[in-house]
């Protein structure tokens, strides 16, 4: 029996388009539909026979769900996902949480990659089934009912390394702007921060802890509140680049020089961070996207387990941290 790839090549369309036609979806033009069906007839392809053999036609499409507040951050991740999927004959559909429910279903796609903290674990557990696996890039879902795999940054050790290096440089008075407190990134980064200070015998004054939501404006507002006290920490560690850049903007607007008056660090190594000279932690974003897609395809083909996969990260020292003399 002919394969979907052969039908797609003869029809001059993608494999997912052939799948959509054979599954009766209405998102294909009439002329294309008729051409695909005629080729199937000419080749003797019987989708019902394929289903009876346990080889139901599955859409060659993957959905990527992401938060839309920092699109620049996601570009490299999306590029990595797209390259891997293209290499394997899959199409990619990108959406935000607002429309996720419409796309996260097995009659539309073969699986999904999710990097959006606004989608709850319960929702993803309800979606991730044997016929619709999900790779999550911002959390670990430990539920045997869900067909999921985590591809995440190993936040804790690199944050420990950064804070230890700051201590070694002579810093003793630390501040911290956290992200959304329920997220894995925040929990691991903050834990690494606190544990390293404790190991070094440096107390952390909670008045220098500020809540953020990973957006630049929350970093800006935290720094504005900090400035009101007229008692700044020596170094401000931020849970991501966006908040760090917002804090720097607030400092500069109020005549506080970075790094002469206060040092600032971020996390993620976005393009904006590099342009601003922000010391940060570099995440392999292209590679993380590529590996997330690769792991999802392995789940779809049932050739991999669901254990979390952790990515390493590296510190990028730049001008936002002052070289202190002890």
CA distance 270 to 242: 8
CA distance 52 to 38: 22
Structure confidence at residue 118 (pLDDT): 86
Has this prediction a pTM greater than 0.95?
A: no
Structure confidence at residue 125 (pLDDT): 92
Structure confidence at residue 64 (pLDDT): 95
CA distance 194 to 203: 9
| Residues 130, 286 contacting (CB under 8 angstroms) | no
Domains of the chain: 4-52 (1.10.260.40), 61-152+284-311 (3.40.50.2300), 155-283 (3.40.50.2300)
CA distance 225 to 228: 5
| Residues 226, 210 contacting (CB under 8 angstroms) | yes
CA distance 313 to 166: 17
CA distance 305 to 308: 9
Per-residue pLDDT tens, the chain, 326 aa: give them. Answer: 457 778 888 889 887 788 777 766 666 888 888 888 888 878 877 766 655 554 556 788 999 999 866 677 889 999 999 999 999 999 999 988 888 888 887 678 999 999 998 899 999 999 998 889 999 998 999 888 888 999 999 999 999 999 999 999 999 999 999 999 999 999 999 999 999 999 999 999 999 999 999 999 999 999 999 999 889 999 999 999 999 999 999 999 999 999 999 999 999 999 999 999 999 999 999 999 999 999 999 999 887 777 899 999 999 999 999 987 65
């Amino acid at each position: 029996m002919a394969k979907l790839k052969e039908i797609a090549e003869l029809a001059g369309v993608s494999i997912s388009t052939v799948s959509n036609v054979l599954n009766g979806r209405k998102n294909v033009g009439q002329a294309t539909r008729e051409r695909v069906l005629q080729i199937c007839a000419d080749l003797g392809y019987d989708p019902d026979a394929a289903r009876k053999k346990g080889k139901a036609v599955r859409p060659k499409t993957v959905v990527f769900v992401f938060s839309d507040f920092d699109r620049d951050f996601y570009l490299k991740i999306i590029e990595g996902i797209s390259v891997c999927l293209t290499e394997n004959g899959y199409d990619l559909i990108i959406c935000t949480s607002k429309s996720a429910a419409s796309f996260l279903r097995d009659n539309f796609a073969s699986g999904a990659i999710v990097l959006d903290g606004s989608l709850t674990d319960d929702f993803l557990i309800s979606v991730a089934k044997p016929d619709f696996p999900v790779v999550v890039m911002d959390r670990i879902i430990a539920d045997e009912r869900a067909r999921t795999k985590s591809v995440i940054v190993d936040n804790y050790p690199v944050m420990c390394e950064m804070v230890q290096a700051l201590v070694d440089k002579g810093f003793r008075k630390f501040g911290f702007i956290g992200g959304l407190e329920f997220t894995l990134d925040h929990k691991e980064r903050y834990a690494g921060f606190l544990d390293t200070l404790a190991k070094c015998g440096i107390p952390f004054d909670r008045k220098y802890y500020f809540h953020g939501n990973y957006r630049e404006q929350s970093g800006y507002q935290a720094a504005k509140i900090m400035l009101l006290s007229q008692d700044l920490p020596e170094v401000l560690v931020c849970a991501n680049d966006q908040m760090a850049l917002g804090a720097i903007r607030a400092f500069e607007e109020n005549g506080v020089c970075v790094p002469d008056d206060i040092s600032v660090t971020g996390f993620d190594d976005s393009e904006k961070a590099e342009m601003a000279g922000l010391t940060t932690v570099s995440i392999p974003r292209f590679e993380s996207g590529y590996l997330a897609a690769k792991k999802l395809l392995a789940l779809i083909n049932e050739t991999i387990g669901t254990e979390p996969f952790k990515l390493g990260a590296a510190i990028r020292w730049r001008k936002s941290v002052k070289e202190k003399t002890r």
